[in-house]
Structure 1
């Protein structure tokens, strides 16, 4: 494989790292507490979410509150001092946060996925070391995807073994959360072409994060380009991620269910905005014969339809969470396939309702809902951007092959 030369031309635009917070994070004690914390945080996060999107203001204080709340360690196993909540609960937490601000919900996505991977593939000593960091409130960013590769699973970033450490070189994009992370897991290949997570300190020499994310949606996910120029990573922080996909494990489904939760959160936000706008600002149509927009029979039917489809997606999301729980506890071809399939079903419905609800918002709320002062288009932009992470047209193929031909889904982070 040809390795692209690392481009360091923009290194001068590097965003400085943030220090770890002095106080250790809270540790959640139960699934119920996790949901209470999520709802409390969401009440705060939603207040300035439109302004953060409009002006691309980084959610610095919000992110600190989120990670310090204990919600970033909710899938740390109990044997290491973590809450180990159900993945149905974890998904609901991300949905609640994403309904308030979907960018903040997405920032935690890869962190929680890496925590799950450490549980799957690391030895006990490495688990103890890295889970202790997570429980203290350390945030993982990510440096997974590459901009110029043929496929998402193709990597050019590599590391060289130097005894007690490795040296990583490459360049990454779509690095959600990396700007304000404390540690940056880097997907890099060894000499055998196997993918590892090389977890580098955010302030490691040679690791540069550039604030150049320019998407029209999910604008404050703290993403950008990551340049890796001879970055040193100790072997203690080199996680054999490939082991999560060389046999059936729940790792892929876990990465996917968090995607689903972000999208159901966006759909929930859009429906809530629709109801609020129709109840407080929209006018009745001239031919409706009613005095208020909320009495319009077509609007009533449309809101009922959207809500029904959201509830269907949420039900599958919860079902997927419990299927993942079973696959984590007893990973085998059958339990893992079940988790992948129901998560794929949820991914299809969540994508469709997120796009439908954010589009229907303007049809039902009316022309004045497009005014810049409301910034309601952020929901559509966020849905359209986030649902592109992996195409649902391939999810239909996975389902068809499974139910028709008995073919289990592929083992990778997009399935």
Structure 2
């Protein structure tokens, strides 16, 4: 493999997306979404590892959307990536999650790797067609990373490792537990077939069943020097990774809400009669049902407006690279927290109340309208939304920012 000598800044993202870029990738994402929608319910019920779904993403070019063009990627922007996640989540929330996490995990190249090593990583991900999974769940601090030679030995386990069942590589964050560098946290990348890595196929949850969020066990896994992206630090631009994943959540919650509305609309329009006490000829002409749909649609549209604005703001701030300040980072993180609150509550409400206007027949297992609710209800438990409300309130009232973490 020939490594280009191009020197990158701390992050390679520059500027914001233009209409041509957005339109192109909306079309690509919609084409993938249309294919996924055909058998989304059937695939959900089979609960199998989503290798075929990842192949669709790869063949469409979506895995390399955010890779700089000089290394073989599309050179796209975060706003575009977020929109792709949203569109795909409307058809299949699990695959929307897989793509969202892939973008965040892959961006560890930009946020953690030194400028002189980034080019090698970008080329490897393109040439390998990598989907990036992760194993960074901070509520399972059970990893030990012990120096050995010029690398480390990794032991322990992690739950909720999204994409690990199908990703070519897995990003791991672990704290060095011994030696002179004890206490330092490293981000590193290991292939799914690395000796000593055990992928436990235990992801059997209410929703998001095809997100490949298995548990992992590490049995004397060798972490080589070439596997290490870099240290996890409090550098402002690198800490934007966490608000980035929260904004990715916002987008696939929004997508799920939009998908539930679209599915509900088709069901209502397909009903040729009306409620027996109604003066309307059909359910779609009944003002009671129109009112409910109107309310849900308006709230979803409001979330969409906020989300679209934040996608562009995220690009603008990330493109400042090393000039990003903690103050700027904190302000954007709170705006994203606001969107996280309203997207969570709106998506859950839409996915729940859509049954009110589609009737008892829509609760049939064969209809599968429950898929939207199960998906958003499951992932929205990722981190308590009440803490996001506190984050917003503390910042608004007193200008206080929450401590940096993998959730804030």
Structure 2 gap ranges (5+): 1-16
- Mapped to 2, the partners of 1:56 and 1:169 lie a distance apart of 29
Cα displacement (A) at 1:412:
2.4
Aligned length: 381
Counterpart among 242, 254, 258 of residue 248 in structure 2: 258
Structure 1, residues 32-70: CA drift from partner, whole Å, max 9, x if none?
322221111111111110111122244322211202322
- Mapped to 2, the partners of 1:335 and 1:159 lie a distance apart of 33
Alignment of 1:320-359 (within 5 A): 320-330=310-320, 331-359=324-352
Counterpart position of 1:140? 132
Contact kept, 8 Å, 1:273 with 1:361, in 2: the verdict is no
| Alignment TM-score, normalising by the size of structure 1 | 0.87
Contact kept, 8 Å, 1:143 with 1:175, in 2: the verdict is yes
| Alignment TM-score, normalising by the size of structure 2 | 0.88
Counterpart position of 2:161? 175
Cα displacement (A) at 1:126:
2.7
Counterpart position of 1:372? 365
1:316 maps onto 2:331 in alignment? no
Alignment of 1:245-284 (within 5 A): 245=234, 247=236, 249-281=239-271, 283-284=273-274
Change (3 A) 1:111 1:311: same
Cα displacement (A) at 1:167:
1.4
- Mapped to 1, the partners of 2:124 and 2:59 lie a distance apart of 12
Structure 1, residues 227-277: CA drift from partner, whole Å, max 9, x if none?
11011122122123522x354531111111111111111101111111111
Alignment of 1:42-81 (within 5 A): 42-78=33-69, 80-81=71-72
Aligned Cα root-mean-square deviation (Å): 2.0
- Mapped to 1, the partners of 2:201 and 2:142 lie a distance apart of 22
Cα displacement (A) at 1:77:
3.5
- Mapped to 2, the partners of 1:220 and 1:374 lie a distance apart of 19
Contact kept, 8 Å, 1:52 with 1:58, in 2: the verdict is no
Change (3 A) 1:281 1:122: same
Counterpart position of 2:170? 184
Contact kept, 8 Å, 1:200 with 1:232, in 2: the verdict is no
- Mapped to 1, the partners of 2:140 and 2:200 lie a distance apart of 22
Contact kept, 8 Å, 2:330 with 2:401, in 1: the verdict is yes
Cα displacement (A) at 1:153:
4.9
